[in-house]
Structure 1
Amino acid sequence: MAYAHPSPALPSPSHPMANSGYGKRPAGDEDPHADADFAHLLPRDAEVAVFIDHLDTGHAMGHKVLAAEHPRYGQQAMRTSLTRITEAGHLRWIKEHITVEDNTMRWVTRTYWSRTRRSAEWWARFARERHGKDVTRDHLPGLARVEEQPAAAEAPAERPAVPDAPEPEPESAAYRALSRLRTADVRMPLTESDCRSLAPLAEEWLSRGAAPEDITRALTEGLPPTVSNPGGLARRRLESKMPPQKREPRARVTRAIMACATCDQDERTVKIDRGICEDCRRENEANPVSDEDIVKGFEEIAHLGTASAYFLRKKLERSTGGPVPDTFRSVPIEDRVFYHYRDNRDRIANGLPPRRWK
C-alpha cells in the first residue's frame, strides 16, 4: 500500500538511472509500505527515506544526484541524511570483489536499500551471503571502480534469429549497411523496401558483434554472375550466416566487505560501525550541524549582497566621517561581502556551522 502521508517530494519519472548493474538495489524480504516505516527518523531524514523508497531499482543513489532531483534539500543536507539513514539500518554500502571467467577482477561498491529497519548483525550476514553470487549480467568489464545498481542472476534469454522489432529509421546503421550494397557490388541493388524489411536481421548481426563491413562481405562474396532476386538472396544469407550470439563471461562475487557510507573506506583498513567508519563518526560528533544551523546559514547567505554592502558602506562612512573610496580600503566593500558569502557557502557544504556576520 502507499503511504498515507507521503513525502512532499517524490521521485520524478525522469530520475537518472545508474550504469547497468548499479544504482538502488533492494536487499529483499521487506515489509509492505506503512506510515510507521520511518517514524524513528528525524523529519528531514524520514522525508529523504520515503523519497529513496519510491525510487525504482537501478535509479542513481549518489547524494549529488538525489540533491539535484529533490526540490527541498541540497548536497550537504542529503549527505547528512543518508548518513543517518545508514546508521538507522536502512542503507548499506558494500564493496564486492568480482572475478570474471576471463580472469579479470574488479572491486565495485554497491548500495543496498531496505525499507525494513535492519540490525548491524543482519547486514553483516547479508554481506557474507553475497559471497559466491553469480553476477554475470551485473558487472562491467575492466578494473575501475564504479557506483552501483541492481542484480540479475538469470542467464541471458535466447534471442530469436529475426527479432520482432519496430521498423528502423532510414539513418540506422543496419539500414545504411544494406543501402550501401549496391555500391559494393552492382549485382545487389537492394530497393528501399528490401532495406527496410531486412534491417531487423542486419540489426541482429550488429547486436551480436558484427560490423557493417561483415554484413557487406557476407552478402557480396561468391555471388553468381547474375542475381535475379537480390532481396531474397540477401535474406537467405543473413539468416544462414548469422554469427553466434555473444556469451557473457561468467562472473561471481568472491568477496564482500562493508564500506563507509561517508568516505568509502572499507573494513580492511577501518572499523565500520552501523555503516559508518570511526573517523567519520568522530568528525560528525565534533562538528554537529543542526537543521536550524543550516537554515540560518542559508538565510544569512541569501541576505548578503547589494543590500548588505550598502548598509556596511554607510556604517563605515559614519565611523570615518564621510565616504572613503575603495582604492583607500584594504579590501573593497563588495569583496568583503563576497568573501563572507563564499566562506559560509563552503563551510555549510562541508558540514560546518556558518560564521555570523560581524
Structure 2
Amino acid sequence: MTNKKRNAPARPRTRHSSGVTHVNEPHHDNFTVVGNHLAQHAELSLVAIGLALHIQSLPEGTPIGIKALAAKFPEGEIRIAAALRELEEHGYLSRPRERLQSGQVTTRTISYNKPRLAVALAAPVAPEPEAPPKAPPPPGKATELLAGLRARDSRLLLTERDVHRLAPAVSEWLERGVPPTAVVRTLTTGLPAEPIKHPAAFLAHRLTAQLPPHLPAPPRTITPPRPDPLQTCDGCDRAFRSPHPGRCRSCRRSAVA
C-alpha cells in the first residue's frame, strides 16, 4: 500500500452547489503569511487590505511612498493616500517623522503584521493642576508646643486656659511655613533675666510682634503651545505641519491655479 504524497494538490470540494470553492496547493517558497484579521477586516476597504498585503510582502527597505505605490498600481495617489491613512488608523502601519543629523526630516514607515494601537497625534500638553492648599496644622500640635515651653524655661508655665487661648496664634505661624522648632526658638530665646509675672501676655506679644509674612506663591509655569503635528502631503509626499492630514500649501496652490 502506497502512502499519499503530502504535497499533492488537494481535490476541489463539491459539497456545496453555491459559494466559494477552494483549491489549495502548498507553497514552499515565495509566499507571505497573512492573518485573517487583515484579510477579512470588516472596516478596512478592499484597497487598504490589498495595499497592506502588498506592503507585508515587500523586502525590508523597499520604498513605499505615495508616488512609488502610485507608479505600480492604477488606483492613483489620492486613493493610495487614503488607504495608507486607513492602515494607520487601524494599527497596521505607522509613519513617524525623524530628523536626520543634516536637519532634513524624513518618513520612516513601519508595517505590522498584527494590528497595533494607532499612534495618536501629539496633543497640546495640559497645564499642570495647581497644588491644593495645605491643610492647617491640627490645633493639637500648637497646644503641645505651648505646653512644652516650660521644659525650656520654668517661667513659661501656662495654664490650660492660656494654652488654648494662644494656640490660634501659634497655628498662624505654622500655617505660614515656620517649623515648630523655629517657633519654640523664637519664644524661648532672649528671655529677660527678671521673673516673668505674666507668661501668657509675654508670649502673646512675641507671637504678634514677630509674626513672619506669608511665603510668596511659586511662579506659575506657562506651557507654550505645541506646534501642529507633522503630516505627509497626499500630493507630493512631503512633510508639513497641520492639525489634519491632506495636502501641503504648495500643492493646494497648484490645484487652485
TM-score by length of 2: 0.37
Larger helix fraction of residues: 1
TM-score by length of 1: 0.27
